[in-house]
Structure 1
């Protein structure tokens, strides 16, 4: 769903990152209206933003080129404001309610959510006056996007860097998402587990964790309090998600049952190892002339144990990754595990195999099954929540 986003750009070297933000939001079909302060135009020309957004770029408070009152028109059409970068000067004026240019005037007139991404020298950012001003804005309902730490353009190292454009776009996506999971606690597992053989070897599987992380992101963006229990992956933790890292199936069981009692929704998306070595060698097993045999034992069936203990107020959702007889095996799992839903996917197809960015699933419940089309996992995660929320409302 497209939105009208007003991008405010103030006079800092990090303004170049706002160009990518504008471009990325435009590619997501949002309408991006840019307001630049006079100082911002010293770093980037307005025509550059116009070329990326194909929409007007404003910098002057007074104009005779339109019949509408400019600052009111922009304030009224906005679904969301992002000020990035936001200088110490802008933050001070916003906190004091000063309206001496187009940007500060528009934000006083708007009813839309306002997000502010500070960017400045580390000592300026840490100055008590700046901290006080940001706190004042937060108390007024503005959302402050915490700057990152690192090397700054002024030559210092510390907090004050404008976050990566992708992070800013994700913040906007989260803000614009429907909040139909507000006040819900969601527990999700993701990724593989590793079952140690010796200090250098382990048994694992090909799970990338992408589907579980996509579900965690979708739940967080929809307003839920999300805890993500994850095996080893290379993925970045989604915004607003509490990540709990684990290694083995035993670790996962321990962490899951710490959180399970208070969860409203539990989604077991992890590919938990079914077996582990009976004996762990504390020293590296040396190569020998003969073959090596490993005796394996079953790990705990976390989903089954959750099914036996779950409360009537909880939703328990499992995954079935199958290479054959997909629906039959998933249906058996639904009954055996006492889950409310099983999400089944065929892993033998290269488009839906472990590690793929896309997936195609069927959602099974006692009422039947629904097949969703092949799509990106981020989109699929939202479709899964749409389906389950709608089904639970009936």
Structure 2
């Protein structure tokens, strides 16, 4: 099979790495890829948001399967365009991707189908949004409605912070058109967990659980990021909690898909807040999470190509997913200053010095004069397996000092339970 992966982050590097293990793959492409992906796949110099050129390339090169990594192309309708050309694609069509593309639509979907979530209100007018703050306790959550690269969710500790957040999103266009609408939510207390699921249009099959660390600095301090680390499985995910989630979240979500006529094929990422043996949905994403993918896929024993094909054909079962007993830990190495301003172009050294049981997935990297240099905020994802979380964690943090680039930053408390 000839497979094209769309995207350029550590998530896409991990997907390529896992697909490469399949005997079914004869040729692997990635558009636009990065320095690490270029070591295992042929780079196609087309940006992920250039939907027309990606579709044309897939048709001209007789691609058997297109795997769409980022949310932007999904929300933009890339899968719809590929299907029109008769090209098999793994990822939801535009109608399904809207669950991530619009937070207000997503919240309305949850409310309509009685899926547990935080109380919320939606606004397009900043004055009305500011007035509504009297109905919320602090902390309060202010969200840009559209896609904002994982940075459009602001947790405000005071009413003044919330007012500034509303003004910056709606009036000052901090996130551009993504902030034309804002969602104000009650703050949910508890422990966050990530649940990625394969969906074949008829069923939702959960993968192994994981936990993401959103804040930039140790102790969950600083601004929200796209994710600074992850581990899998999440020990909070008990059998009792699993039963609650299956009945109250997964089954109701699937019912919503059927009622709304959403033919969903791909990955549904359910962000959850856990308290006791119950859970509420923080958000839906309609693709593999990042950095969840870097922790979850290394634990997958099954052939990823088989799973994706069964999702497209509508015949996936839970028996198709086999998992390693080992635990995994991933730590993100970021550019200094991320998630705000940061510089690019620093040479990365030491990647050839890490231990054999370490996998370094490239996020924001590129090649310049034959050297790997930084090219983004989240630069590398350092992942390891271990018999325990502690063992996997120790392996990761033992190897990070071997890697170097100017102004690198990372959290030192990932998976420190």
| TM-score under structure 1 length normalisation | 0.29
